[in-house]
Amino acid sequence: MNTAHTALPTLFLSAHDVATLVHRLGLPAALDRMAGTIHADYLRWQAFDKCARVASHSADGVIELMPIADGSTYAFKYVNGHPKNTQSGLPTVMAFGVLADVATGVPELLSELTLTTALRTAAMSVVAARALARPNSRRMALIGNGAQSEFQALAFHHLMGISEIRLYDTDAAATRKLMANLAGQPGLRLVPCDSIAQAVRGADIVTTVTADKTNATILSPGMIEPGMHINGVGGDCPGKTELHPDVLRQASVFVEYEPQTRIEGDLQHLPADFPVTELWQVLAGETAGRTSAAQVTLFDSVGFALEDYSALRFLREAARELGLGQALPLIPALANPKDLFALLRAGAPALALAA
């Protein structure tokens, strides 16, 4: 005879829970642990069942699903990108994600990923820059000072020793916002600039993280100096790019997952046979990253599902350590798992079922 069982609860992490988690760990430690988790998972590249994300495009933005799985855990992220949202008080990017057990399909974690996406994108930028930028890099240009800019700035400051960040945004208020948020950071000098060219002059690393859904030219070939590492973050869907194609032609280009980047990244403007290297190969020591101090390297970052898998894995581990999150009864408890209708019959009036 079947007896009722208690369905395994799903751990739910709200935006407040994730903010509390980061606060209790400390932002530098949280970024460092997330970067370490991403790096470790990239070293298991061959273990994952991978595909490009599924996107639904509209005139105003995009809504995407990003799935990935290894032999034990499945993950996906729901995420949007709507640059006009800020005009109505909404974030440009909003996201949530799930970790599930491959053996049973039980969803084990449901978490916000809006704040977490900014953290994981910054951590991923550092993972790439550690492999590709000059090791003595100290000056960075940050083009685009919107919602993700502080996370990029602090990740490079705390994890790579960047001591000067030169700032530019077409919206001067965004730059003022960034400077106010990061005021008083020890050892970090923030320099507002009047143009992109002024910001990138003499930079070791150039990070572009603009939001407009357009084929923009944020960086042109004349701005690129020998030895620069370019961290192209903002170009991340068809029709949304930041770099002149000749910038890619004069650089060694590294990507997350080539089939996705050729559709979504700045790479979309170049022929299908343009040579690129997937970053996992560099991290695993299978191919060279930077080979000389004068080499220009470019990480054409579009965001890949493996990074969200890593971020969710980090959140679950840290939440358990800190006792954060709520048990969410997402899956029903059934005395007989073949009798789903019993869930209605148990608490519903007979007339309501018969109506």
Please state the CATH superfamily assignment of the domain spanning residues 135-302 in this structure. Answer: NAD(P)-binding Rossmann-like Domain (3.40.50.720)
User: What is the rounded distance in angstroms from the CA atom of residue 199 to the CA atom of residue 202?
Assistant: 8
Name the token pair of 167.
């700032």
Residue with the two structure tokens 């019959």: 345
pLDDT at 354: 54
CA pair distance 219, 217, nearest whole angstrom: 6
Tokens of 171: 């919206």
Residues 84/61, Cβ–Cβ less than 8 Å: yes
Read off the pTM. 0.93
Q: How far apart are CA 142 and CA 203, in angstroms?
A: 10
Give the tokens for residue 212: 């407009």
CATH fold match for the domains 10-115+307-350 and 135-302:
no
For the chain, the domains span 10-115+307-350, 135-302
pLDDT for residue 349: 61
pLDDT digits (tens, 9 = 90+) for 102-157: 999 999 999 999 999 999 999 999 999 999 999 999 999 999 999 999 999 999 99
| pLDDT for the residue 237 | 80
CA atoms within 13 Å, Cβ hemisphere of 121: 28
Dig out the tokens for 136 from the structure: 């003595």
**What dihedral do alpha carbons 235, 232, 178, 58 form, nearest 10°?**
10
Residues 81, 151, 292, CA angle at the centre, nearest 5°?
Answer: 100
> What is the pLDDT at residue 138?
98
CB 175 within 8 A of CB 145: yes
Residue type, 46: Q
Catalytic residue among 41, 169, 204, 236: 236
Per-residue model confidence (pLDDT) at position 2:
44
Active site residue 236: yes
Q: What pLDDT sits at residue 352? A: 55
- pLDDT of 19 reads 98
Residue located via tokens 């960075």: 140
Contact 299, 232 (CB under 8 A): yes
Query: Which tokens is 83 given?
Result: 């640059």
Which residues in the chain show pLDDT less than 50?
A: 1-4, 351
Q: Which CATH number fits domain 10-115+307-350: 3.40.50.300, 2.170.190.11, 3.30.1780.10, 3.30.530.20?
A: 3.30.1780.10
The reported pLDDT for the residue numbered 304 is 97
